[in-house]
Amino acid sequence: MSNDANAARAILTRSGIMPVVTVTSAEQGVAIARALVAGGLSAIEVTLRSAAALDAVRAIKQATPQLLVGVGTVCHAGHVRAAEAAGADFLVSPGTTPALAEALLASTLPSIPGAATPSEIMALLDHGFSCVKLFPASALGGIARIKALAGPFPDLRLCPTGGIGEHDAADYLAQPNVLCVGGSWMVASAWLAAGDYAAVTASAANARALIDRVRG
Ligand code: 3PG
């Protein structure tokens, strides 16, 4: 049994910015992973929104062992088991049903479960999760919502994701209750479609510089 809050916290702290990627093939996943590593990032979330996701996780783990590889868009117990079998380092979900919370608790992997509301956050805290993906962060009110959550939930740590870009990621990361900011801006679909991995590396390098600047 995991639900190791310290492990989830360590992953988010080490990552700082979490590129969220939907891959078309394992080969593409490896090319993206290499580009992110070249830019100085240390983690990737591969969403289960494409058939290639789990093969990509396996291939990325092999090609870039220094990269923490999470499986995202985990929605039910079957996804948890599939991510474990693929060798994922951690799990991320967009929201959390009671059944998914049980499956995450039963997993050996650290997880960052999703929540949008105070009641959903309270349910996760009751289960012992203290690191939560706030999704969809921008549509929920962005930084104003994150500040508002700090009062009632002083021990909660967030990974806001959804609608965040290079222009506002630093403002999110500067919030004391934010450990990591998630987003797909470093892996823009136009770049991936064009095979422009140099653009991915350049954006990842900007993200790395942003993390270092905010954290001093
Ligand atoms: C996710 O699954 O976390 C989001 O799709 C990422 O959001 P973004 O594409 O708005 O950055």
DSSP 45-89: EEETTSTTHHHHHHHHHHH-TTSEEEEE---SHHHHHHHHHHT-S
Please report the pLDDT score of residue 53 as a whole number: 98
92 vs 183: CA distance, rounded Å: 13
Residues in the chain where the model's pLDDT stays below 70: 1-3
Please report the pLDDT score of residue 3 as a whole number: 61
Q: Which position among 120, 133, 147, 166 bears the catalytic label? A: 133
Q: Is 61 noted as a catalytic residue in this protein? A: no
Q: Is 45 noted as a catalytic residue in this protein? A: yes
Cα 114 to ligand 1 centre (Å): 12
Please report the pLDDT score of residue 80 as a whole number: 98
Name the CATH superfamily for 5-209: Aldolase class I (3.20.20.70)
User: Which of 12, 15, 18, 20 is the pocket-test mutation for ligand 1 (most atoms within 8 Å of CB)?
Assistant: 20
- The per-residue pLDDT for range 126-164, each reduced to its tens digit, is 999 999 999 999 999 999 999 999 999 999 999 999 999
Domain boundaries, the chain: 5-209
Closest Cα to atom 7, ligand 1: which residue? 162
91 close to 70: Cβ distance less than 8 angstroms: yes
Does residue 129 sit in helix, strand or coil? coil
**Predicted TM-score (pTM) of this structure:** 0.96
**Residues in the ligand 1 pocket, defined by CB under 6 Å:** 20, 47, 72, 94, 135, 161-164, 182-184
Q: Which position among 27, 45, 84, 120 bears the catalytic label? A: 45
Tokens representing residue 102 in the block: 């049980």
